[in-house]
Amino acid sequence: MHRTAKLAVSVLMATSMIALAGCSAADTGADSKTLKIVYEKTDSFTALDTLFKKIKPEFEAAHKGVTVNLQPIQANDDDYSTKLALSQQSAETAPDVFYEDTFRLRSDIDAGYLLNLDDHLDGWADWSKFNEGAKGAGMGDDGSTYAVPLGTDTRGIWYSKPVFTKAGIAVPWQPETWDDILTAARKIQATQPGVVPFNMYAGKGTGEGTVMQSFYELLYGTGDSLYNENDQKWVVGSAGFKDSLTFLDTLYSEKLAVDPSDALDPNVWKKVFGELFPKGQLGGTVEGSYTPSFWQKGGSYEWPAYVTDMGVAAFPTQNGDAPHGVSMSGGWTLAVGAKTKNADLAFEFLSLALNKENSLWYDINNSQIAVRTDVAADPTYLAANPFVAAVTDLVSVTHYRPATSDYPKISAEVQAATEAVITGQMSVDEASAAYDTAVEAIVGSDKVTK
Amino acid sequence: MKAEQIAPTRGANPGEPEPVGSGSPGRPESTEGGSRRRGPLGTRARTAARLLPLVPAVLLLLVFLAGPVAWSFYGSFTNAALTGKEARNPQWVGLENYVTLFQDPVFPLALWLTVVFVVASAIIGQNFLGLGIALLMNRANRVVGSLVGLTVVAAWVLPEIVAAFVAYAYFSKDGTLNQVLSAFGMTGPNWLFSLPMLAIILANVWRGTAFSMMVYRAALNDVPIEITEAAMIDGAGGSKRLVLITIPMIKSSITTNLMLITLQTLSVFTLIWVMTAGGPGNQSTTLPVMAFQEAFRFSDIGYGTAIATVMLLIGAAFSVVYIRALRPGKG
Amino acid sequence: MSVATLAASVASPRKATAAALSNGILIVIALCFLLPLAWLILASLDPDASYRTQIPANPSFANYAAVLTPGLTFLPLWNSLLLSGGAAVATVVAAVLAAYPLSRYTMRFNKPFMYAILFGTCLPITAIMVPVYSLFVRLNLIDSMPASILFMAATSLPMAIWMTKNFMDSVPISLEEAAWVDGASAMTALRRVVVPLMRPGLGVVFIFVFIQAWGNFFVPFVLLLSPSKQPAAVSIYSFFGQYGAIAYGQLAAFSVLYSVPVILLYALVSRGMGASFTLSGAIKG
C-alpha cells in the first residue's frame, strides 16, 4: 500500500508540475499572435457565439499565424460584467475584443479599459453606414469613439392576443394611460384564474431588466426623469418616482403580476417567455424588441405561433399625455481592449464581425434593431419577423439611460427600491426616501436636484 | 489504503493515550524531545540552520495570508474600483470608506445578521446538536451510531456549492421541506422568501454539525471510563454526570470547537449566495455577502475592502478571546 | 468507542431503555439529515425532475449522459483535480518541513510562531478574498493556476502545520537518535524515519486539504477567469445560473458526479482510522 500511495503522490505531483510548466509556457509563447475575444453566452443568447464561431476560421485564414481565442463567459448579464471587469485589471487577462453593454461604456472608458478607435474608424469605409444614434452610443466624454454598436433595441408591451380576447378586450390593443393597463389586467384576473394578468419586472434579481423593461417605462411617462441632462444632476424626491413605485406596488399587491418571490428569481424571464406566454398563462409584459429571438426558429423557446398569438403595443404615459408612448433603448457594442498588443488585428476582427453581411445575420437572429442604414433597408431584415416595423417605430418615443459612470450604482438603488416595495418591506414613501439618501451618498449632495 | 494496513502504525497517532509531548494549543512550547539535543554550543548559525525548513511555509504564509491582510488595511483607505476613473488612478481617501460604512444603513443590519447567523447556526445549532449526537452515540447501538455518523458527515463532505444547491432545493417553495409539511397537513411558507435567515441557519446547521460531532466524539472517547463509572457508583445521575464530570473534562475541546466553527461560520458565503443572494431586500445580507456585492457587483473595491477589514477585526477579536481561554492554568 | 459500546451492552434494564431512546432520537436526526440529500439522488435519475422530491416515473441515466461531455464535466473536474491535488501536495510538503523544527527543537521562537499559526487558522478566508483579488492584480497573478494553487495551499497551511506538528510530536525521538548516531542529518532523519512513521497522519492532512480545496467555490470564482481553467465548483455555478431553472435533473447529476470523488476519499480516510480519531489529532486540546 505504501508504495502505491507514494506512487499516487508522485504522479499527482508530477502532473501538477507539468501543468504549471505548461500554463506558463503557453502564456508567454503565443501571446503576440493570439486575439482574445470575450463575450457573453447563455442558453438563450447564442447568436454572438455562433457569429464568432463562423468568422473565426475566415479571419484566421486571412491572417496567417493568428489564432482567435474565443472565450464565451457563461453567465447572466451581472455575472458577465463582474467577470469582464475583473479581467480588465491586468494586461495578462484583459481581452483584445469584447462585448460590452452601452450603459457601462462611459464608466469603463473612464477606467481606461477601451481603446480609442478614432484612427481606425477613419480608415473604415463602413463607418459611414452607421446611423448617428449608433455613433453616439460608443462615444466617450471626450468626443472620441470607443465602441461600435451591434444593434439597438426598443421596449414595448408584448401581449397575448388569445388571453386578451378571452377577457373581452379588443385586439389590437393600445393602452393610453396606466389605468388602461390596470383595467385590462383586472379583467383578465376576473375572467381567467390561473393566468398572470400583466407582469412587470421588479427587484434586484432581474438586474438591469428591472429598470429597462419596467421602472423607466413608468418613470419617463410621468414627466419626471432619473437625471437632469441640462444641470447634470440626479433627480431625487420626484412625484413621478413615487407614482412609478406605486404602480408596481398595485400590480404586485393585487396579484396582477407574478408572485413577488418569483419576481426576485433572476430567471423569471425564462419562465415568462419559455412557459407562461406559449402556454397562454400570461396576459402581457414589458420587454425588448429582441423578444422574437426567443421564439423564432433556432431560439431557446421555439414557438412558431408567436407570429399570430402575440401583439406589441407602446407603453403609455401616465395620463395619456404626449408623446403617447414611452420606450427605452440600450444595446450592446463591440470594443477593443486598451491593453491589447495587436490593436490593428483586433480592430480588423471587430470590423469583420460588424460588416454588412454579419450585421444583417446578427440583427435578424438576435432580433436587433439595425444601426447600419444598409442593413435597415435590406428586405430580409424587414421580413425577419412581423414586429420589425412596430418596434422600430418606438424609436421615436425612446429614451436612453444617463451615460455617466455613476449610473450602474444608481440603477442598483432603483432596483433595491422596487424590491423593497413589492416585498412589502418598505412603503412607497420609505423606499423613495431611502433611494434619495442612497443617491446623495453615491454622487454627493451637490449633484442632486429636487 | 486498507484499514488493516494502517492499524499497526497507529502508534504514530496522537490518539494514543500518551503521545510524546502531544502539543496542545495552549502549550506549543512543550517539546521536551528536542531539548535533549540542544547543547550549550547552540549558536546563531545552528538556530538559523534549524529554522531553514520553515522557510517555504513562512514564505507562503507571508505572501498569501499576511500580504492580503496588510493589503486589506491599505486598500480600505483608497477608493480603488473596478470601473470608472477610480479604476485608473485609485486615490488615498483616508477614513472615507469607514465613515460611509458606519453611515450605511445596510451595515448595522449586515452586522446584526452576521451575529445572528453565527450564534444561531454555529454556537447554538452545530455545537449543541453535535454534542448531543456525540453523547447519544455513546449510548446507542453501534450500527445506529455509525449510520447516523455517516448521514451527518455526508452533508459536511459534499462540496460547498452542491450543499448549497441541495439546501436551495430543499427550502424552495415546492421543495422537500414543504412536501413533508404538507404530508402532515401543514402549509409551509416560502422559506427562502419569507424566512430567509431561518432557512440559511438551518442549512448551515445541516451542513456543519458533522464537524462538532466528530470533535466531541473524539473528546468523549478520551474521557477515561473509570471516572464516569466512579461517578456512577457515587450515585450521580446522567445529567449530573454530564455537567459535573464530562463537560469539565472536555472543556478545552469545547473551546477549540467553538473557535473553529465560529470563524468558519463567520466566513460562510457560498451557501448564502446560492440560496438567497442576500435577499429578499437585504434580509439575509451578512458581511461576506455585503463585501462581495460592494466590491464586485458595484465595483467599489475600496469599500468592499473596508467591510472585509471589519470582518477580519471581528475574527481577530474572537480568536483572541478563544486563544486566551485555551491558555494553560485557565482550562 | 468499543469500550463504551461494551459498557452499554452489559448494562442494567434502565440503561437499555436509555439506549433505545438514544437509538430512536438518533434515527430521527439521521432522517432529518438524509432528507435534503434524497432530492439530489432522485432528481439526478429523473429526466423530468423539478425541485420536488419524487420517485422518478421513468428512472434513467439520461441526465448523466447529458452532462458527461468534455466541456461540461471532464475539463472542470480535471481542473479541480489540478487545483486540489496541487494545493494538497504543496501544503503537505511545506507543513512537514515546518513542523520538524517546531516539533524537535525548543526555541524561543516556537511559542509565538505557534500562536501566529493558530491565529492564521482562524482567519476568515472570505474576508481576504477582496484584498487577495487586488493583490493578485498587482502581482499579475490573476487567472494563474499555479498562483491559485499556492494561495489555496497557504489558506490551509496553518491548520496543516498544526496537525502535522501534533502527529510528529507523537513519533518517538529515540528512533531518530538512532539515525543521528549513524551520521544522518536532520533532513535525512526526517525523510527516512519520521515521515514514513507518520504516513497515515500525512495522508489525513493531504486528504483534508484536498477535500477542502475540491469544494471551494469562492477562491477560483474570483481568481480564475478563463472558462478553460474553471474548476467544477465554478462551472456548476454557471450551469445553475443558466440552466438551473430548467434542467434540475442535469444539475443534480452534475452535482453527484462532482461529489463522488471527495466522498470516496473521505470514506477511505475514515475507514482507515476513523474520522473522529483523525480530528482528535488535529485539534486535541
Neighbours of B57 (CB within 10 A): 27
Residue C7 lies in a domain: no
CA distance A333 to A362: 12
Cell numbers at A336, concatenated = 477593443
| Pairing state between β A155-160 and A310-313 | antiparallel
Class of domain A155-329+402-449: alpha beta
Interface test with A, best of B178, B297, B298 (most A CBs within 10 A): B297
Q: What is the CATH number of the domain that holds C71?
A: 1.10.3720.10
Query: What backbone phi and psi angles, to 5 degrees, belong to A372?
Result: -95, 130
Query: How is residue A351 written as a grid cell?
Result: 470590423
Check CB contact of C241 with chain A, cutoff 8 Å.
Answer: yes
> Which run of H or E residues covers position A73?
strand A67-73
Query: pLDDT tens across C142-182, in order?
Result: 888 999 999 999 999 988 898 888 888 877 888 777 777 77
Q: Which residues in B lie closer than 8 A to residue A405 (C-beta atoms)?
A: 83-85
Task: Please give the residue that has the higher pLDDT: either B29 or A309.
Answer: A309
> In degrees, to the nearest 5, what angle opens at C-alpha A75 toward C-alphas A72 and A76?
130
Minimum-distance CB partner of C246 among A2, A74, A270: A270
User: Distance between CA C128 and CA A123 in Å, rounded?
Assistant: 48
Measured between CB atoms, which of A74, A90, A93 is closest to C242? A74
Of C218, C277, C285, the CB nearest to B25: C285
Which residues neighbour C156 within 8 Å (Cβ) at sequence distance 6 or greater? C87, C91, C208, C209, C212, C213
Closest CA to B247 of B331, B145, B154, B141: B331
Q: What is the residue range of C45's domain?
A: 17-60
Of residues C78 and C183, the one with the higher pLDDT is C78
d(CA C219, CA C243): 23
Q: Please state whether C137 falls in left (phi above 0), alpha (psi between -120 and 50) or beta.
A: alpha
* Secondary structure of residue C252 in the 3-state scheme: helix
* Terminal-to-terminal C-alpha distance of chain C: 19
* Helix, coil or strand: residue B266: helix
Compute the distance between CA of residue B168 and CA of residue C248 in angstroms, rounded to an integer.
12
User: What mean pLDDT comes out for the span A384-409?
Assistant: 87
Which top CATH class is B96-326?
Answer: mainly alpha
Domain residues of chain A, as ranges?
A: 33-149+332-367, 155-329+402-449
Question: Do residues A148 and A333 touch, judged by C-beta distance below 8 A?
Answer: yes
3-class SS at C270?
A: helix
Q: Grid coordinates 419586472 are at which residue?
A: A201
User: By the CB < 8 Å criterion, does C227 face chain A?
Assistant: yes
Q: Are A33-149+332-367 and A155-329+402-449 the same fold in CATH?
A: yes
Question: Chain B residue closest to A80 (CA)?
Answer: B297
Spatial distance between the Cα atoms of B141 and C5, rounded to a whole number of angstroms: 7
Chain centroid to Cα C227, Å, comes to: 24
| Contact criterion met (CB < 8 Å) for A20 and C86 | yes
Are the C-beta atoms of residues C71 and C84 closer than 8 Å to each other?
A: no
- A 10 A CB-CB count for B46 gives 13
Q: Is residue C218 part of a domain?
A: yes
Q: In whole angstroms, how far apart are CA A71 and each of A49, A77, A208?
A: 9, 15, 23
Q: How many CA atoms lie within 13 A of A162 on its CB side?
A: 14
Tens-place pLDDT, residues C98-108:
988 888 887 77
- Regarding whether C213 and C90 lie in a shared domain, the answer is yes
Between CA C214 and CA A147 the distance in angstroms is: 40
- Side by side, which strands form the sheet with A233-235? A227-228, A233-235, A448-449
Q: How many whole angstroms separate alpha carbon A415 and alpha carbon A206?
A: 9
C234 lies in a domain? yes
Average pLDDT over residues C121-127: 74
Yes or no, beta carbons of A261 and B283 under 8 Å apart? no
Contact at CB, B279 and A1, closer than 8 angstroms? no
> How many domains in chain C?
2
Nine-digit cell at A90?
Answer: 491586468
Report d(CA B79, CA B59) in Å as an integer: 29
The pLDDT value recorded for residue C273 is 53
Q: Cα distance from A405 to chain B (closest Cα, Å)?
A: 6
Mean pLDDT of the B296-301 span? 82
CA–CA distance, A159 with B187 (Å, rounded to integer): 34
Domain parsing of chain B, residue ranges: 96-326
Whether residues B159 and C259 touch (CB distance < 8 A) is answered with: yes
Examine the domain organization and report whether C71 and C23 are in the same domain.
no
Q: Is the pLDDT of residue A3 over 50?
A: no
pLDDT at site A433: 93
Quote the mean pLDDT of chain B.
Answer: 79
Q: For residue C98, what are the contacts with CB-CB under 8 A and spacing of at least 6?
A: B53, B54, B56, B57, B58, C161, C164
> Do C138 and C242 have their domain in common?
yes
A27: pLDDT strictly greater than 50? no
Superfamily name with CATH number, domain A33-149+332-367: Periplasmic binding protein-like II (3.40.190.10)
C171 within domain boundaries: yes
- A267 contacts in C (CB within 8 Å)? 244-245
Chain A CB within 8 Å of residue B91 CB: no
ipTM: 0.80
- B225-233 vs C2-9: helix axis angle to the nearest 10? 30
**Whether residue C247 sits in one domain with residue C208:** yes
C230 CB-contact burial (10 Å; exposed 0-12 / middle 13-18 / buried 19+): buried
pLDDT at C183: 72
- C48 and C148 share a domain? no
Residue C276 has pLDDT above 60, yes or no: no
Question: In 3-state terms, chain A is what percent helix, strand and coil (to 5)?
Answer: 50, 15, 35
Q: Do B331 and C200 touch (CB under 8 A)?
A: no
Question: Does residue C256 belong to any structural domain of this protein?
Answer: yes
Lowest mean pLDDT among A228-237, A390-399, C161-170, C233-242: C233-242
Q: Does residue C233 fall inside a structural domain?
A: yes
Residue with cell 510524546: B20
Clarify whether residues C39 and C114 are in a common domain: no
Burial group, residue C184, by CB count within 10 angstroms (0-12, 13-18, 19+) = middle
pLDDT at A283 over 90: yes
More confident: A198 or B105? A198
How far apart CA B84 and CA A112 sit, in angstroms, is 8
Residue B109 has pLDDT above 90, yes or no: yes
Which residues in A340-357 are b (16+ Cβ under 10 Å) and which e? Answer: bebbebbbbbbbebbeee
pTM: 0.81
Cell 407570429 appears where? Answer: A307
Answer yes or no: do C30 and C120 share one domain.
Answer: no
pLDDT tens digits, one per residue of A33-88:
899 999 998 777 888 999 999 999 999 999 988 999 998 887 777 778 888 888 88
Nearest to B152 by CA among C273, C32, C269: C32
